[in-house]
Amino acid sequence: MAPGAPPDSRPLLALSSTLLVPGQTLAVQMGAARNVALARALEVPGAEVIVAVARPVAESDPPVAREKGEASLAHLTGRVGVLCRAIERIEPAPETAQLTLHALRRVRIGAIDEQHAFPTAAMSAADETDGEDFVARELAARVLAGVDELAEAGVTLDAAVVPVLRAASDAPARLADLAAAYLGFRVEDRDEVIQRLSVVERLRFVTSRVEKEVARAQVAADVARNARTRVERHQREFFLRQQLRAIQSELGEGDPAERDADELAQRISDAQLPELVLREAKREAERLRALSAASTEHQMLRTYLDWVLAMPWTRTSGASHIELPHVESSLDERHWGLREAKERILEHLAVCELRGGEPSGPILCFVGPPGTGKTSLGEVIAQAMGRPFERFSVGGMRDEAEIRGHRRTYVGAMPGRIAQSLKRAGVRDPVLMVDEIDKMSTGLSPTGDPTAAMLEVLDPAHNHTFADHYLNLPLDLSGVLFLCTANNLFDIPGPLRDRLEVIRIAGYTAEEKVEIAWRYSLPKLFQQHGITDHDLQFTDEVLALLGSRYAREAGLRNFERHLASLMRKRARRKAAGELGAWVMDTARLEELLGPPPHAAPDADIDPAIGTVTGLAWTSEGGELMTIEALLIPGRGQLMVTGQLGDVMRESVDAALSYVRSRARDIGIADSEFVQSDLHVHFPAGAVPKDGPSAGVAVTLAIASAFSRRPVRRDIAVTGEVTLRGRILQVGGAKEKVLAAYRGGLREVLLPSLNATQDLRDLPAEVLRRVVFRGVGTMDEVLARALLPSADEHAVVVDDDASIVREGLGVLERD
Ligand code: ADP
């Protein structure tokens, strides 16, 4: 000890390449002059020294010190050193010394005296702070696990090290020190360990170093083993997560991810999944456990499993028995008329029932204009059968994935509509209505043909293992009762149409609308609006007006909308306190709803030259369509205009040729064809889809224009014409007839085949009031509809039609 040093001061041994930790015994060799001097001055064994790490020589050190390679020690003041006891001293060579030191404890270094041969420093106690015991223990466990991993990764450790560290596992402070001493920490890191008086901090530092070391060793090992980095990363994550869990359980928190995973596993085993699904779900749930909850993959997998669990794999509605009488009465309760549709539904369900509830054979498809009750038929069927009802539209669908779902690898992938509907229904045997099957886009799109997927869905031979791309598990659709709806039969893709049993619903006449209003719509709407027939009163006349001039279309939507609008107006006043009944009459109706948008049915039926009332068919039902032909002085040119100009062009060409070929019979001078230009116009309005069926109307208009003979406008015509004047059958005859009736026309000329086939199911009212004439040739049409030219107008066309109106209303040609 330096002379005159205070009693709590000790020689200060500043080392540069090693450091002892408390408890360690180490032989330290030294060559620096001040250290050799110190070693020699010590009383061995027994004397105490403070050992600390000196920083390397720097520019700022005094020149003498620099020369000797000894840095100033002033910076050590305030730092922590290790108090050691000297055990042995030897001098292996001149100017060197070796001290065997046993480290006792940490001390805080105070003032340093460097004036003598060797430095001395004052010291004071350096007290450790313990921190939370369990944290320390957790960290200690991590250090030990790291040691194991180091060994596993092939880092060679002294055989004695592992047992020594293990023995210290209950004394985390000591473990940290020993780890710093034995795990090959660099001297700077050992110093860091010595400096940390908080045990937890110290352990944290040691843990981070050890784990860094583990990672480094693992990478090295991976490189050696041809890089299995990914697996290692998972292992590492797994290991860390285990630590985390241990900490959380210590904190009494429990790992939410773990709880979640357990809960999921429970749900999977409770869900009564079919064998295959169960296996897949379990496998994916296990995979989920190994993923970090924050990763996208985890979320995707989780969503997937939620979907799998939400699907009704085995759950049924429990309604295996179909009560046909109940279905029948339910259908009648909710729908007026629709006799044929109801019959066919019952037949279909009867077959279903006989097969033990499994639907089979063709799929029922309701075809008709909007608002004719297709959806509500479906709803009633489902209700009466005791099964949930779901619907989805395939209108405008271009992508197979909308039906089958996207593969799970897509970002934002979802199951297809079928699976979605089943999930909503919650049972495996719901009634599923596929809407707008005629509006599905066909043809090979690059993303797959939705029609093909739909075919598979609707095919009883294949749909028990329907493959949804997202779920990637076979879905059994054999229990589902599929129903389809369409507006236009002819737009349904061919192969699909073959699978369907088509039930056509043509639309309603104004009289039927009145009837439906009394029985169904009004009671329903009154209830919905919180008023009664004491507040608002209708008459047949007003309802008929509403049905014919406000809502003329085939369906009931507009009609019901108008009724609802009236009710809202009444309800508002009632809420404001107005009592008494509103009795609806024509004037009141006009006052509340504005003037009627449609002309009175019997307007505009005076015979006219070149103007013909044709019948068009649109997806909204039938429509009246006026066709005009006009002669103007010219050179035999033809002009076709109007919305359908191009589509109709060929029809017009054919019609013109026919008229020219029959010019003499009709009363047209040959010269007319070269002296005049012909202009045929199709005014806008409804856009019919089937161009050719205007053939009869066009021919008639042209014949009338050239012959200057007026056409009867109380007759509506439809039919396709061949060049030689034969009339061919057309589509949508029933809808067209209803349109003629709604438009106030009382005579319809239509192709004979249509007359024998399509009129079966028309309302009695229509059969009674409209005269139908089946026509086979254009000559018959001309004879019937073309009046004599104005100068011979006196001669009235004979009207001795021998019309049969009995039976189903099929009418013979006269
Ligand atoms: P769609 O599915 O054919 O477009 P909806 O089924 O939605 O038509 O029917 C529209 C409205 O008309 C519904 O309120 C429905 O109850 C009513 N409706 C249609 N047809 C009838 C009918 N024959 N008898 C009673 N109400 C009907």
Cα 314 to Cα 426, 467, 769, distances in angstroms:
10, 17, 55
Nearest atom of ligand 1 to the alpha carbon of 505 = 3
Ligand 1 centroid to residue 489 C-alpha, Å: 19
The stretch 423-452 carries a mean pLDDT of 83
DSSP 683: -
Residue 812 has pLDDT above 60, yes or no: no
Phi then psi for 763, rounded to 5 degrees?
Answer: -60, 145
**pLDDT value for 563:** 92
Q: For 725-781, where are the E strands, in sequence order?
A: 727-728, 747-751, 771-775
Please give the distance, rounded to the nearest whole angstrom, from the Cα atom of residue 373 to the centre of ligand 1.
3
Residue nearest to atom 25 of ligand 1 (CA): 335
Of residues 421, 693, 704, 752, which has the active-site annotation?
693
Q: For the segment 64-95, what is each residue's pLDDT rounded down to a tens digit?
A: 766 766 777 778 888 888 999 888 888 877 78
Is the pLDDT at 426 greater than 60, yes or no?
yes
Query: Which range has the worst mean pLDDT, 145-154, 204-213, 595-604?
Result: 595-604
Distance (angstroms) between ligand 1 centre and the Cα of 625 equals: 26
Long-range CB pairs of 597-604, under 8 A, 24+ apart, other chains included: 597/549, 597/550, 598/548, 598/549, 598/550, 598/552, 599/549, 600/549, 600/744, 601/548, 601/549, 601/742, 601/743, 601/744, 601/745, 602/744, 603/744, 604/713
- The whole-model pTM stands at 0.61
For residue 371, how far is its CA from the centre of ligand 1 (angstroms)? 5
Instruction: Say how far apart CA 792 and CA 85 lie, in whole Å.
Output: 145
Comparing 191-205, 265-279, 681-695, 713-727, the range with the smallest average pLDDT is 681-695
Q: Which of 86, 126, 99 is nearest to 35 (CA)?
A: 99
What average pLDDT does the structure give for the chain? 82
> For residue 376, which atom of ligand 1 is closest to its CA?
6
Given pLDDT bands bounded at 50, 70 and 90, which one contains residue 319? confident
Question: What is the distance in A from the centroid of ligand 1 to the CA of 422?
Answer: 25
pLDDT 10s digits, 183-203: 778 888 888 888 888 888 888
- pLDDT exceeding 70 applies to what percent of the chain? 90
Please name the residue whose Cα sits nearest to atom 10 of ligand 1.
Answer: 371
> What is the atom index within ligand 1 of the atom nearest the CA of 520?
25
Rounded to the nearest whole angstrom, what is the distance from the C-alpha of residue 628 to the centroid of ligand 1? 36
Q: What is the mean pLDDT of residues 228-242?
A: 72
How far is it, in rounded angstroms, from Cα 509 to Cα 768? Answer: 13
Q: How far from 62 is each of 53, 71, 266, CA to CA, in Å?
A: 19, 8, 74
Q: What is the pLDDT of residues 652-661, one digit of tens each?
A: 888 999 999 9
Looking at residue 808, its pLDDT comes to 32
Pocket test for ligand 1, best of 345, 366, 372 (most atoms within 8 A of CB): 372
* Å from CA of 519 to ligand 1 middle: 13
The residue nearest atom 18 of ligand 1, judged by CA position, is 373
Q: Are the C-beta atoms of 702 and 676 separated by less than 8 Å?
A: no
Instruction: Encode burial over 193-218: b for 16+ CB neighbours within 10 A, e otherwise.
Output: bbbbeebbbbbbbbbebbbebbbebb
Q: How many whole angstroms from 394 Cα to the centroid of ligand 1?
A: 20
Q: How far is the CA of 349 from the centre of ligand 1 (A)?
A: 21
Give the residue, 91 or 687, on which the prediction is more confident.
Answer: 91
Mean pLDDT over 39-65 rounds to 78
134-150 pLDDT, tens digit each: 778 888 888 888 888 87
- What 3-state class would DSSP assign to 431? strand
Query: Would the pLDDT of 805 be above 90?
Result: no
Question: Token pair for residue 116?
Answer: 């003598």
CA 714 to chain centroid: 53
pLDDT at 447 over 70: no
What is the predicted pLDDT for the residue at 699?
Answer: 92
> What percent of the chain has pLDDT above 90?
16
Residue 804 makes CB contacts below 8 A (sequence gap 6+) with 810, 811, 812
| Ligand 1 midpoint to CA 524 (Å) | 12
The residue contributing the CA closest to ligand 1 atom 20 is 373
Q: Helices (DSSP H) in 225-338: which residue ranges?
A: 229-250, 256-270, 275-289, 296-310, 324-334
Residue 85 tokens read as: 């006891």
460 pLDDT higher than 90? no
Probe target for ligand 1 pocket from 556, 559, 735, 738, with the most ligand atoms within 8 Å of CB: 556
Catalytic residue among 374, 574, 734, 736: 736
- For residue 368, the ligand 1 atom closest to its alpha carbon is 3
Alpha carbon nearest to ligand 1 atom 24, residue: 335
Q: Using pLDDT thresholds of 50, 70 and 90, give the confidence band for residue 687.
A: low
Q: Helices (DSSP H) in 546-683: which residue ranges?
A: 557-575, 586-593, 645-661, 663-666, 672-675
For the segment 358-378, the average pLDDT, to the nearest whole number, is: 87
Confidence of residue 292 (pLDDT cuts 50, 70, 90): confident
Distance of CA 413 to the CA centre of its chain: 8
Q: Is the sign of the CA dihedral 302, 307, 313, 314 positive or negative? A: positive
Pick the atom of ligand 1 nearest to 369's CA. 3
Which residue pairs, CB below 8 angstroms and at least 24 apart, start in 322-328?
A: 322/349, 322/352, 322/353, 322/357, 322/385, 323/384, 324/349, 324/350, 324/353, 326/384, 327/380, 327/381, 327/384, 327/385
Model pLDDT for residues 704-761, shown as the tens digit of each residue: 999 989 998 889 999 988 888 899 888 888 888 888 888 888 899 999 988 888 887 7
Mutate to test the pocket of ligand 1, among 342, 367, 520 (most ligand atoms within 8 A of CB): 520
pLDDT band at 33 (very low <50, low <70, confident <90, very high): confident
DSSP 486-533: ES-GGGS-HHHHHHEEEEE-----HHHHHHHIIIIIHHHHHHHHT--T
Q: Is 736 one of the annotated active-site residues of the chain? A: yes
Atom of ligand 1 nearest to the CA of 366: 3
Place of tokens 């349904």: 492
pLDDT tens digits, residue range 781-802?
998 888 887 654 433 333 433 3
Q: Distance, CA 376 to ligand 1 centroid (Å)?
A: 6
Spacing, Cα 557 to ligand 1 middle (Å): 7
* Protein residue with least CA distance to atom 5, ligand 1: 373
Using the predicted structure, report yes or no on whether residue 602 has a pLDDT greater than 60.
Answer: no
Question: What pLDDT band is residue 255 in, cutting at 50, 70 and 90?
Answer: low
- Nearest-atom number in ligand 1 for the CA of 372 is 3
Ligand 1, CB within 6 Å, residue ranges = 335-338, 370-376, 516, 520, 556-557, 560
382 pLDDT tier (thresholds 50, 70, 90): very high
Distance between CA atoms of residues 33 and 35, nearest Å = 5
Lowest-pLDDT range of 99-113, 162-176, 621-635? 162-176
Ligand 1 centroid to residue 750 C-alpha, Å: 29
The single-letter DSSP state of residue 54 is P
d(CA 174, CA 302) in angstroms, rounded, equals 44
The Cα angle at residue 641 between residues 638 and 643, in degrees rounded to 5: 150
Q: How far is CA 145 from CA 175, 201, 214, 747, 775, in A?
A: 13, 18, 10, 98, 98
Distance (angstroms) between ligand 1 centre and the Cα of 610 equals 39
Mean per-residue pLDDT, 206-221: 81
Task: Answer left, alpha or beta for residue 356, where phi above 0 means left and psi between -120 and 50 means alpha.
Answer: left
Identify the CA nearest to 438 among candidates 375, 403, 391, 484.
484
